[in-house]
Structure 1
Amino acid sequence: MKRCWTKIPVVFIIFAILFSGCSSDEEKKAAHFEKGTTYFEKGEYKSAELEFRNAIQIDPEYIDAYERLGETYLKLGDPKGAFKEYSMVAKLDPENTDAALKLATFYMLGKKPDEAREKVEAVLSREPNNIEALFLMAGLHDLDKNLYEAAAVFRKIIDLDADQARAYMGLARVYARQGKPDDAEAQLRKAIQLDVKAIKPRLELVRFYASRKEFDRARSQIEKTIELNPGNSELYIVLGNFFFQMKKPSDAEHAYLKAIEISPTDIKPYMVAAGFYDASDMVEKTLAMYEKALEIKPDDVNIMTTMAGFFLKHKKMEDAQHHLAKVLEERPNFFPARMMKGEIATMKKDFTEAIGIFDQLVKEEPRSARAHYLKGVALLGKGELQSAKTSLGKAAELNPKQEKANILLADIAMRERAFDQAQKLSEAVLSDNPKNFQARMILGNALMAQGKTGQAEIAFKLLIAENPESPAGYFRLGVLQRATKDYDGALTSFNSALDRNPMLMDVFTNLVLVYGAKKELNTALERCDAQLKKVGDSKVHQAIINNLKGGLYMAQKRTDAAKKAFEAAIQLNPDFMPPYYALARIYLAEKQPQKAIDQYESILQKKPGQAGPHMLLGTIYDMQRKYDMSEKHYRAALDINPQFAPAANNLAYLLSTRDGNIDEALKFARIAKEKLPDDPSVMDTLGWIYYKKALYGNAVQEFSDSLEKLSDNATVNFHLGAALFKKGEKTKAKAYLEKALRLDEKFDSADEARQMLSEI
């Protein structure tokens, strides 16, 4: 009999097709989930992630897959990804206890206690005796410093299950914080009695003893734990850390190596040993440990990122970039690697790239204090002072213990002459870390700038007491003593600084100035000759000392000797600017500038490829106000040597004061700043260009730095006063404008200073 397929109902065929399709999807979904689970259990988390994702693609409401994907992201070190998946579970199944507690944990770690409490309370309303929820609630009470409530919750857990060692340990921590050490120890002993071989309770007892400085008892407990668990490498790491803290490096090293011996295929002992060697400045041993860890796990992004950080610390940029490139190839969005990439860009002064990286990082992790801090550092490097303050302020807000951010903010406050703010910021750092060197230095400088000389003296003497081998404290104390005309005290302080480092020319310059103030010019010259022997073959240092000798000879009216000293300084260091001005002033004072011009023109005819003579000619014409000729010679010097900083600086200033191309002026000023970052004349020039471009915050920063070294220069005082005036800080501006006129009633911008003062 023939079968007639055409008579089978169409509806039945469609149903059969749909049914088979659904069956196929269910099978595929289950297969992906099963494969993902297998990969997860084997530790192949990237493959597991792909399979769970495939299952979710088939069924976007597959709760089990979302849960396993959350666990996978935790294993991959991606808490942000895990949070997203657990949030999806909670959305699909609002009464899913596990997801709610996981989210509460994330909120606690993210310092969002209100959100965490909401999740925990929701679970406890359904399951009042849920032990995991009770542990989280105890933790929340602890965060809020509600110790009695925390203790009550831990006791409730013990009532529900007397075998919960974690509850005894939690209760012990509460008792310790309440000042009940005997009760705390008793609870820890109870936790240990539940399982004498258990590691966590004994290590908690170790921490308890260490916190009470009972180090022998702490060590005894570590050794007892090792005796009970001889094959546990983690315990040898704990022992090594204990010895390291006790300043017993050889014992620490032995313990770390024992951990490696016990677990030769576990990367953790190698990484810990590497950290120990790095802290001990054993570079080769550090690198050897990292390389062994990488042999075991060649694709581990955490090892490669840590190695990149090690190379970065030791200024091996290429090695650091090589390892980071491998990390980012494997994990393009790996946050720590991208952070380090931004750090490298900052160190290479590629501030634009660095800021772009940190901008993206703070968008992704707006509560990352470090990302905000590093962005602030990059912005500071680029000269964007106000934006830098915003980022650094955010870093300090997110992490009030972020010393570096607060110190940079204090430093910026000093540059902006906001001395009271600098004082407050440095005092805040010192309240947490009384031995912070930079904070103590800024505090002393801020107090000195406010005229609080007694307090400043105490700050500098504390700096010396805490760091007796550092010359910095002696130098700043000497500067204070020189300012208060305690010349004998200043000489003692400057000599103490030079005993520790004879190459410090700022210190030696101040020493010479003190001898000058005491009218002991011959003694000053003798010290210069003695210092020339101490600095050896350093032409930079020799140039500075010869320039000082020239000034001393001028004070003695020994003009010929002064000329020779200034010429020697230029010969030794053509980039050093002061002797050019000194020689030009001598020629003008002698009323024979043309003789000097003819002399240098003759030198150029014989040897035209020299930038120095052009620089001297430019300086002489500058002082004669023959600006077209000075510009011609500065440009000629730069044609010979495009990186010749003195000419770049003077040409930049010339262009900015004569309404020339301000952007061209900025280009030359930046050349000078890069070559001579600590030269006060260069700072003043760059500040004036910022002033012309209406970047008053940046201008104040540069003028403030310049004034540190040129405190009695009328023009620099006027520049700082003018920038503060334009910035709207007229009370501060007044002091500098008045000082400029006191120093020199007829300096070039004296009328402008008077006009500003009339408007205040």
Structure 2
Amino acid sequence: MKPITTTLLVIVLIFVTAFPVSAADGPDRTARKYYKNGLKAYEKNDYQDARQNLEKAIENYPDYAEAYYTLGRVALAGKQGQQAFDYLTTATRIDPGHIQAQLELARILMAAHMPEEALLRLEIVLKDDPGNLDAMLVKGSALLAQKRTADAIAMLSPRFEKGERHRDLILLLAAAHFRNGQTALGESVLKAGIDAHPTDIALHLQLAGAHQRAGDLKAAQDVLTTIIDIDPANVAYPITLAMLYWETRENQQADRVLKRAIEVGPADPARRIAVANFYLQKKQIERAQNLLIEGLASGDRSVRLRLALSELYLKTGRPQESVDLLEKGVAETKASDIAERAAIHNALARIYLSARQFEAANAYAENVLQQDPTNLQALITRGMVMKSAGSPEAAERDFKQVLRRKPDFLQGYLQLADAYVMDRRTGMARKALNAGLRMAPDNRELLMASYRVCLMEKDYKQAEAHLHRLVEKYPMAIDAQAALGDFYLALNDESAARREYSEIVLKAPRSAVGHIRLARLYARQGQTDNAASQLQKGMNLVEEDQALAAELVTVWLSAERTEDALALCEDRLKTHPDEAFAHYLEGKVFTRMKEYDSARKALENAAELDPMWPEAGNSLAAVFLLQDKKKQAIDHFEAALERNPKNPTATLVLGRLYEERKEYEKAISVYETAVATVPGFWSAANRLAFLLADTATSVETLDRALKFATAAYRVKPGHAAIIDTLGWIHYKKGETKQALHLYEQLIIAAPEDPVVNYHMGVVLKKSGDIDTAREKLLTATRAATHFVGREHAEALLKEMKAKGSKLKAHSS
């Protein structure tokens, strides 16, 4: 009998071990009732009731994995990514075999750009269910994110070959083939998917993108025409088609497409604004303006159209018209229309903020907040005012308040991150941007901001990943693709840089960006003929583009091929005889050829055509300096100003000559007189502000400099030279946070500019960031370019080197 008893005991032990949670230990009737009610509420989209019932279910049974899983789904529906992650993690801790919870966690991890962690979750799912298509699709995305293209194809292809036509499988497999350079295979997969899903927009869009990348714009146009037939209500598609027609110089066809787009919904302000923005981007200002005015004239008093027209006036340098239009809107809006009045006041606040008139901007924002303390746009504006005024901590409070009230307000994450960057807290900036990306993983602004913060932290792997995502999601975002090429070039990967720049040329042949980037790469490699050929191709497509002409002149001059450069200038002057820029280029070429009389004549022509343009005056002053004719030149331009005190060219040249002779008081006097007598003379106001700041011995002088710089900024908002001056004034006032914030904007647009790098290096040194300061000063002095302050930059580098040597000797 004893063996039988032992056997029974073993069986009982095995049963207990295999099933540790008996029915009595599972959720009781009350817990199950709450769970059932929570699930019903979730299915009816009543998330508050769902959450309450599910939490009560867990109170009754703390190990209720299914309740935690459903709570995770509720949090996802409410766009509460972190809560969803926590609930789902708890569900999988209680029940590691909960396939759906593991799968949702993998999706969240992919949205957070964590493919390695996602793959760990997916392996659990696929081990239990090898044929789980949802898990395979998420795994395919993870493999592509890790650049394991061959592995993704190997996993997905068999399902496709067996007849599986799930839309996401098609998109992933096609993307993998395209990345692998297998264009024909990728297109074949897409066409099979379209046969199975003929009205699926995503499949058609990917096919259009493939044709575009291959340079077959006609095929891309045909696919987009089909997309518009499928979904005529979405204005983004006709705008994309119009963009392609613009690339192939079929502008009339683009106009017809956009006209039909308006006719689909003539009373829809969003459609009219989108089309107007397209024309504005293409510098068709009058057409864009007329579209918006027609909308207002047709009886549509929508505040959106008024705001869009106001924005157009701002972008085209007419701030007063913008203000007048909005103030008229306030007068026409009833006091009871609180929302519309708030929108207009917010717009006015933004205008004054963009003009750096912080008190006026803050007053309008506060006006809105008095009526509605929770108005998100007013809080954002006030935060931006605080940030610009050098109080990033106060700005952070406003931005955090915005995000607490509206977690999916993406602009809040961008502004909060920017405030952290200004406060030199890049780790916090990154966290803020990652939180935004959990809400909107493909948002362009968030991805680009994240890329820049990763660069600051020297996390090059993640920086590259952000740019890749941008390029994949937005094939026409050539700024992102150019940044990706620049990124590779900075890492000396010339082959990868060339690939990105070449793709820009294929996608957007009439954009100067790709041609210029590719030409600069060729020039860097010593391939002058290839650089010139690339630029000439661009000029054949976009004859009006000044940047291409300037770049080609630079290439010829760098190769000492002055005759070629001169021939280019003469050709341009035949078609653009009244263009200041063409005469300026000719003057630069003659200067290099040491034909100073011809250079002077050309530059005087440029200055006459655009009297307030500083480059013409500066170059004209340089001609006199190269001839060692400072005294004669000063006498000449002093006499010119006596004859006509409002002569802008004489002002700029004489001021620059005095600066070169370090006679700063005389230069200041010249600029002061000009600013007082010539309305809107922004270039003189900017030079005056810079000299006042550079020679200041009191706070009052610095405040005066800031006043002149701000006035210049109102006339030319966003101009790099004025932003540089504003940054220098803040540095001189000891406001390094504001100064660095401005220089970081400049360095993005002009990473090699010697003056910007010099000024930023000086500010960084003062802020204690010696390593980055050294990098900027080395960039500033790398070339032989002369600039005001070069001697100081070189002295600072020697000082840093000497201190570094002493520290090294001391430590050893």
1:496 to 537, 542, 553: 537
Task: Give 1:623 deviation, angstroms.
Answer: 2.5
3-state DSSP of counterpart to 2:597:
helix
The number of aligned residues is: 593
**Aligned residue in 2 for 1:321:** 304
* Cα pair 1:410 1:426 within 8 Å, conserved: yes
Mapped to 2, the partners of 1:175 and 1:604 lie a distance apart of 77
C-alpha distance 356-558 of structure 1, shift in aligned 2 (>3 A)? same
User: For residue 572 of structure 1, what is the amino acid of its counterpart?
Assistant: L
**Aligned residue in 1 for 2:380:** 357
C-alpha distance 74-579 of structure 1, shift in aligned 2 (>3 A)? farther
**Aligned residue in 2 for 1:442:** 483
Task: Give 1:634 deviation, angstroms.
Answer: 0.9
Task: Give 1:527 deviation, angstroms.
Answer: 1.4
2:104 to 119, 130, 143: 143
Mapped to 2, the partners of 1:137 and 1:290 lie a distance apart of 48
1:375 to 392, 399, 415: 415
| Identical counterparts, % of pairs | 17
C-alpha distance 493-149 of structure 1, shift in aligned 2 (>3 A)? closer
1:429 to 439, 459, 467: 467
Mapped to 2, the partners of 1:703 and 1:447 lie a distance apart of 21
**Aligned residue in 2 for 1:694:** 736
C-alpha distance 385-648 of structure 1, shift in aligned 2 (>3 A)? farther
Task: Give 1:528 deviation, angstroms.
Answer: 0.7
Higher mean alpha-carbon deviation, 429-438 vs 317-326, is at: 317-326
Higher-RCO chain (CA-CA 8 Å, sequence separation at least 6): 2
2:597 to 560, 575, 580: 560
Name which one, 1 or 2, has greater alpha-carbon Rg.
1
3-state DSSP of counterpart to 1:643:
coil
* Cα pair 2:586 2:602 within 8 Å, conserved: yes
**Aligned residue in 1 for 2:667:** 630
1:685 to 701, 725, 739: 725
* Cα pair 2:757 2:779 within 8 Å, conserved: yes
* Cα pair 1:447 1:453 within 8 Å, conserved: yes
**Aligned residue in 1 for 2:18:** none
C-alpha distance 250-447 of structure 1, shift in aligned 2 (>3 A)? closer
Task: Give 1:721 deviation, angstroms.
Answer: 3.2
2:799 to 717, 742, 755: 755
Task: Give 1:332 deviation, angstroms.
Answer: 6.6
* Cα pair 1:117 1:140 within 8 Å, conserved: yes
* Cα pair 1:478 1:491 within 8 Å, conserved: yes
3-state DSSP of counterpart to 2:736:
coil
1:408 to 408, 430, 449: 449
C-alpha distance 385-682 of structure 1, shift in aligned 2 (>3 A)? farther
Higher mean alpha-carbon deviation, 475-484 vs 695-704, is at: 695-704
1:86-485 to 2 correspondence within 5 Å?
86-87=50-51, 103=71, 105-109=73-77, 110-111=80-81, 112-113=83-84, 116=87, 139-144=100-105, 272=233, 282-290=257-265, 319=302, 321=304, 345=350, 349=354, 354=377, 356-357=379-380, 359=399, 360-366=401-407, 368=408, 370-375=410-415, 389=429, 391-392=432-433, 394-396=435-437, 401-411=442-452, 421=459, 425-430=463-468, 433=471, 437-453=478-494, 455-464=496-505, 467-468=508-509, 470-485=511-526
C-alpha distance 478-243 of structure 1, shift in aligned 2 (>3 A)? closer
Mapped to 2, the partners of 1:549 and 1:219 lie a distance apart of 55
1:663 and 2:703 matched: yes
User: For residue 103 of structure 2, what is the amino acid of its counterpart?
Assistant: D
Higher mean alpha-carbon deviation, 504-513 vs 572-581, is at: 504-513
User: For residue 142 of structure 1, what is the amino acid of its counterpart?
Assistant: L
Task: Give 1:723 deviation, angstroms.
Answer: 3.0
Mapped to 2, the partners of 1:343 and 1:394 lie a distance apart of 30
Mapped to 1, the partners of 2:189 and 2:501 lie a distance apart of 36
1:639 to 672, 676, 679: 676
Task: Give 1:653 deviation, angstroms.
Answer: 1.3
* Cα pair 2:709 2:722 within 8 Å, conserved: yes
* Cα pair 1:543 1:573 within 8 Å, conserved: yes
Please give the per-residue CA displacement for 1:23-67, whole angstroms capped at 9, x wherever unaligned. xxxxxxxxxxxxxxxxxxxxxxxxxxxxxxxxxxxxxxxxx9xx9
Mapped to 2, the partners of 1:740 and 1:172 lie a distance apart of 55
* Cα pair 1:83 1:103 within 8 Å, conserved: no
Gaps of 5+ in 1: 1-63, 126-135, 155-169, 189-203, 224-237, 257-269, 295-303
**Aligned residue in 2 for 1:60:** none
Mapped to 2, the partners of 1:552 and 1:323 lie a distance apart of 47
3-state DSSP of counterpart to 1:557:
coil
3-state DSSP of counterpart to 2:680:
coil
**Aligned residue in 1 for 2:570:** 529
Please give the per-residue CA displacement for 1:603-645, whole angstroms capped at 9, x wherever unaligned. 4444444444333332232223222222122122222344322
Q: TM-score if structure 2 supplies the norm length?
A: 0.57
* Cα pair 1:707 1:717 within 8 Å, conserved: no
Mapped to 1, the partners of 2:626 and 2:191 lie a distance apart of 78
C-alpha distance 311-716 of structure 1, shift in aligned 2 (>3 A)? closer
1:516 and 2:562 matched: no
C-alpha distance 729-502 of structure 1, shift in aligned 2 (>3 A)? farther
1:704 to 715, 733, 747: 747
C-alpha distance 214-507 of structure 1, shift in aligned 2 (>3 A)? closer
C-alpha distance 632-484 of structure 1, shift in aligned 2 (>3 A)? same
Mapped to 2, the partners of 1:152 and 1:314 lie a distance apart of 54
* Cα pair 2:612 2:683 within 8 Å, conserved: yes
Q: TM-score if structure 1 supplies the norm length?
A: 0.61
* Cα pair 2:355 2:713 within 8 Å, conserved: no
Please give the per-residue CA displacement for 1:731-750, whole angstroms capped at 9, x wherever unaligned. 34335545766747995525
Mapped to 2, the partners of 1:734 and 1:450 lie a distance apart of 18
Task: Give 1:652 deviation, angstroms.
Answer: 1.7
Task: Give 1:363 deviation, angstroms.
Answer: 2.0
Mapped to 2, the partners of 1:703 and 1:244 lie a distance apart of 35
Mapped to 1, the partners of 2:496 and 2:170 lie a distance apart of 40
Higher mean alpha-carbon deviation, 524-533 vs 205-214, is at: 205-214
2:762 to 712, 722, 726: 722
Mapped to 2, the partners of 1:448 and 1:349 lie a distance apart of 33
Mapped to 1, the partners of 2:722 and 2:223 lie a distance apart of 50
User: For residue 519 of structure 2, what is the amino acid of its counterpart?
Assistant: G
C-alpha distance 305-95 of structure 1, shift in aligned 2 (>3 A)? farther
3-state DSSP of counterpart to 1:516:
helix
Q: Over aligned residue pairs, what C-alpha RMSD do you find?
A: 5.7
**Aligned residue in 1 for 2:25:** none
* Cα pair 1:403 1:429 within 8 Å, conserved: no
Mapped to 1, the partners of 2:192 and 2:618 lie a distance apart of 71
Mapped to 2, the partners of 1:86 and 1:525 lie a distance apart of 75
1:36-55 to 2 correspondence within 5 Å?
none
